[in-house]
Amino acid sequence: MTDTTDTIHKVLIIGSGPSGWTAAIYAARANLNPVVYVGVAKQDPGPILPGGQLMLTTEVENYPGFPDGVEGPEMMMKFEQQARRFGTTVVGEDIVKCDFSNDGSPHTLHTSEGNTVRAHAVIISTGATANWLGLESEMNLATTGGGVSACAVCDGALPVFRDQPVAVVGGGDTALEEATYLTKFASTVYIIHRRDALRGSKVMQERYLNQPNAKVMWNKTVVECLSTPDDFGNEKLYAIKLKDTVTGEESEMAVKGMFVAIGHTPATNFLRDTGLEFDDAGYIDLKTRSSKTNIAGVFAAGDVADANYRQAVTAAGMGCQGAIDAEHWLADEGLN
């Protein structure tokens, strides 16, 4: 165990998605010498990789500045390179425990390697992970661009899904919103729901069901994603295997895309006993339009504090806010 409490960082950033790297870029250019704890790969509650959810996205077409699209991992590499260019320090460890101070003294944080670090300002950018079905075939295709995704807004307009049948798994407002969005591109959009009634609001149900290419598969669960190699040897989804929750009967349904919409889990478990305030869904509660939390010197940015948008561009914008708010706070405290 290494104790580095003699060194007090001006800005420490937890997380390395679009919000974390953007915060680092802004903080570094403000001569705040930020350090980013990028995290380590893990599987609980779902696949979590340094770089965030974009590490599971093959092609990003809706981020400004990339007219021909960009691979998610490549985008995150560029973000990191830009942050490093301005002097950001990058540490390949997780922050596993935080002792936030309310008396004006530096915050103390503990890493996965047993190290202790301190910082005046902390920006939390740990994101939120999509909830998955837990199928091996699902994750193989989700991580290789094989036709499985957890974000219709991110991936639904890709050419591979246009004029093709696709499925959305879920029954709440998120699933209905994603499915309605997909009706603009797909030939048919199937909602796969394990019950005989949708859970989403009546307004969202009507909006989806009024689309001519919208269908619901009642009392069904997905038990396997079926794929076949394309001309380049890459596995691509061609059908999903369904199981009837009433009869137990199994069947196959041909689809070229499957979008999992059963919720997200914010990466906040390590923050539960810190005094931070959360909303009912477990996201960090930002009570103002800034990135400030209820604890002085602690800020939050990106999907960890955003249950509504969950887009790379909005996360990056929040990362900018976090760095600027931290810079102003440090100045007000005479710590910059």
**pLDDT surpasses 90 at 294:** yes
pLDDT of residue 52: 76
Domain match, 13 and 83 both: yes
Domain match, 206 and 254 both: yes
Final residue of a domain: which of 260, 291, 309? 260
Q: What is the pTM of this model?
A: 0.82
Q: What is the CATH number of the domain that holds 292?
A: 3.50.50.60
Question: Residue 146 has what DSSP assignment?
Answer: S
User: What is d(CA 301, CA 20) in angstroms, rounded to the nearest whole number?
Assistant: 7
**pLDDT surpasses 60 at 91:** yes
Domain match, 162 and 278 both: no
What percentage of the chain exceeds 90 in pLDDT?
Answer: 79
Final residue of a domain: which of 236, 260, 284? 260
Buried b (16+ CB within 10 A) or exposed e, 251-265: eebebbbbbbbbebb
Domain match, 112 and 192 both: no
- Is 97 buried (19+), middle (13-18) or exposed (0-12) by CB count in 10 A? middle
**pLDDT surpasses 90 at 333:** yes
Domain match, 34 and 73 both: yes
Domain match, 102 and 199 both: no
Domain match, 212 and 246 both: yes
Q: Are 172 and 268 within 8 A, CB to CB?
A: no
SS3 328: helix
Q: Are 319 and 301 within 8 A, CB to CB?
A: yes
pLDDT of residue 49: 65
Which token pair is 84? 């490093």
pLDDT of residue 148: 95
What are the contacts of 197-200 at 24+ separation with CB within 8 A?
197/171, 198/171, 198/172, 199/171, 199/172, 200/171, 200/172, 200/173, 200/175, 200/176
Condensed to tens digits (0 to 9), the pLDDT of residues 53-83 reads 787 666 788 899 999 999 888 999 999 999 9
Q: How confident is the model at residue 42 (pLDDT cuts 50, 70, 90)?
A: low
Domain match, 208 and 301 both: no
Q: What angle do CA 194, 200, 202 make, to 5 degrees?
A: 125
SS3 315: helix
Q: How confident is the model at residue 43 (pLDDT cuts 50, 70, 90)?
A: low
Split into its structural domains, the chain has a count of 2
- 3-state SS string for 104-132: CCCEEEEECCCCEEEEEEEEECCCEEECC
pLDDT of residue 120: 97
Domain match, 282 and 249 both: no
**pLDDT surpasses 90 at 247:** yes
Final residue of a domain: which of 210, 235, 260? 260
Mean pLDDT of the chain: 92
Domain match, 268 and 255 both: no
**pLDDT surpasses 60 at 169:** yes
Residue 242 belongs to domain spanning: 132-260
Domain match, 190 and 232 both: yes
Domain match, 97 and 142 both: no
User: What is d(CA 285, CA 221) in angstroms, rounded to the nearest whole number?
Assistant: 34
Catalytic residue set: 151, 154-155
